[in-house]
Amino acid sequence: MSSNSNYYCSLLKICTETRNRSQAKKIHCHILRTIKDPETFLLNNLVNAYGKLGDLTYARNVFDKIPQPNLFSWNTILFTYSKSGNLSDMNDIFNRMPKRDGVSWNSLISGYASRALVTDAVNGYNSMLGDGAANLNRITFSTMLILSSSQGCIDLGRQIHGQIVKFGFGSYVFVGCPLMDMYSKAGFVYDAKQVFDETPERNLVMYNTMITGFLRCGMVEDSWSLFHSMREKDPISWTTMITGLTQNGLYKEAIDLFREMRTEGLVMDQFTFGSMLTACGGLMALKEGKQAHAFVIRTNHMDNVFVGSALVDMYCKCKRIAFAGAVFKRMTHKNVVSWTALLVGFGQNGYSEEAIRVFCDMQRNGINPDYYTLGSVISSCANLASLEEGSQFHGQALVSGLFSFTTVSNALVTLYSKCGSIEDANRLFNEMNFRDEVSWTALVSGYAQFGKADETIDLFQKMLAHGLKPDEVTFVGVLSACSRAGLVEKGYQYFESMVKEHGIMPVVDHYTCMIDLLSRAGRLEEARCFINKMPMPPDAIGWSTLLSSCRLHGNLEVGKWAAASLQELEPNNPAGYILLSSIYAAKGKWNYVSELRRGMRDKGVRKEPGCSWIKYKGKVHIFSADDQTSPFSDQIYAELDKLNHKMIEEGYVPDLSTVLHDVEESEKKKMLNFHSERLAIAFALIFIPPGLPIRIVKNLRVCGDCHNATKYISKITQREILVRDAVRFHLFKDGTCSCGDFW
pLDDT tens, position by position, 78-115: 999 999 888 999 999 999 999 999 999 999 999 999 99
The reply to whether 651 and 681 lie within a common domain is yes
Domain that holds residue 268: 233-328
Please identify, among 295, 328, 361, the residue that sits at the C-terminal boundary of a domain. Answer: 328
User: Which amino acid is located at 609 in the chain?
Assistant: P
Average pLDDT over residues 622-642: 88
Residue 709 domain-assigned (yes or no):
yes
pLDDT (0 to 100) of residue 211: 94
* pLDDT band at 740; cut points 50, 70, 90: low
Say how far apart CA 270 and CA 582 lie, in whole Å. Answer: 59
Distances (CA, A) of 21 to 24, 41, 44, 66, 494: 5, 20, 16, 21, 69
CB atoms within 10 A of CB 457: 20
Residue 662: the pLDDT is 43
Contact 511, 483 (CB under 8 A): no
Torsion of CA 711, 715, 717, 719, to 10 degrees: 70
Q: Looking at the domain assignment, is residue 631 inside a domain?
A: yes
How many folded domains does the chain comprise?
Answer: 3
Shared domain for 565 and 664, answered yes or no, is: no
Do 678 and 603 belong to one domain? no
Q: What is the pTM of this model?
A: 0.77
Q: Taking 60 as the threshold, does the pLDDT of residue 658 lie above it?
A: no
pLDDT tens profile 177-194? 899 989 988 889 999 999
Whether pLDDT at 663 is above 50: no
Sheet of 736-737, strand order: 619-624, 611-616, 694-698, 721-724, 729-733, 736-737
**Which of 549, 583, 607 is a domain's end point?**
607
**Once rounded to an integer, what is the mean pLDDT over residues 455-459?**
93
In the predicted model, is pLDDT for residue 657 greater than 70? Answer: no
716 domain residue, yes or no: yes
Tell me the per-residue pLDDT of 569-617, one tens digit each, with 9 for 90 and over: 988 888 888 888 888 877 778 788 788 888 888 888 777 788 888 888 8
In a shared domain, residues 574 and 658? no
pLDDT at 35 over 70: yes
What is the average pLDDT value for the chain, to the nearest integer? 89
Mean pLDDT of 415-436: 90
User: Is 511 a member of any domain?
Assistant: no
Which SS3 state, helix, strand or coil, does residue 232 take?
coil
Q: Average pLDDT of 699-703?
A: 82
Ramachandran region, residue 285 (left: φ > 0; alpha: ψ -120 to 50; beta: rest): beta
Are 595 and 668 part of one and the same domain?
no
The pLDDT value given to residue 388: 82
Residue 742 has pLDDT above 80, yes or no: no
The confidence score (pLDDT) of residue 731 equals 83
Q: What is the pLDDT of residues 491-546, one digit of tens each?
A: 999 999 998 999 999 999 999 999 999 998 999 999 999 999 999 999 999 999 99
The contacts found for 36-42 with CB under 8 angstroms, 24 or more apart, are 37/67, 38/5, 39/1, 39/2, 39/5, 40/66, 40/67, 40/68, 40/69, 40/70, 40/73, 41/1, 41/5, 41/9, 42/5, 42/8, 42/9
Pair 626, 673 in one domain? yes
In-domain check, residue 95? no
Confidence class of residue 350 from pLDDT cuts 50, 70 and 90?
confident
Position 679 in a domain: yes
pLDDT grade for 670, boundaries at 50, 70 and 90: low
Q: Would you say residue 666 has pLDDT above 60?
A: no
Residue 97 counted as domain residue: no
The Cα 288–Cα 266 span in angstroms is: 19
Q: Among 278, 300, 328, give the residue marking a domain's end.
A: 328
Burial of 3 (0-12, 13-18, 19+ CB in 10 A): exposed
Tell me the backbone φ, ψ of residue 732, rounded to 5 degrees: -95, 130
Q: How far apart are CA 155 and CA 161, in angstroms?
A: 10
Same domain, 627 and 591: no
CA dist 683 and 614 (Å) reads 9
Write the CATH number for 288: 1.25.40
Residues 597 and 576 in one domain: yes
Domain contains 100: no
**250 and 311, same domain (yes or no):** yes
**Residues 647, 558: one domain?**
no
Q: What is the pLDDT of residues 127-142, one digit of tens each?
A: 998 888 888 889 999 9
Amino acid at site 140: T
Q: Is the pLDDT of residue 665 over 60?
A: no
Report strand pairing: 694-698 vs 721-724.
Answer: parallel
* Residues 534-549 pLDDT 10s: 999 999 999 999 998 8
Model confidence at 171: pLDDT above 60? yes
Q: Which amino acid is at 309?
A: S
Asked if residues 512 and 491 have their Cβ atoms less than 8 Å apart, the reply is no
Mean pLDDT of 292-318: 94
- Four-residue CA torsion sign, 107, 112, 115, 116: negative
599 and 687 part of one domain: no
Same domain as 628, residue 598: no
pLDDT(431) > 60:
yes
pLDDT confidence of residue 741: 53
Contact 510, 476 (CB under 8 A): yes
Alpha-carbon distance of 377 to 387, in angstroms, equals: 12
Whether the per-residue pLDDT at 667 is higher than 60: the answer is no
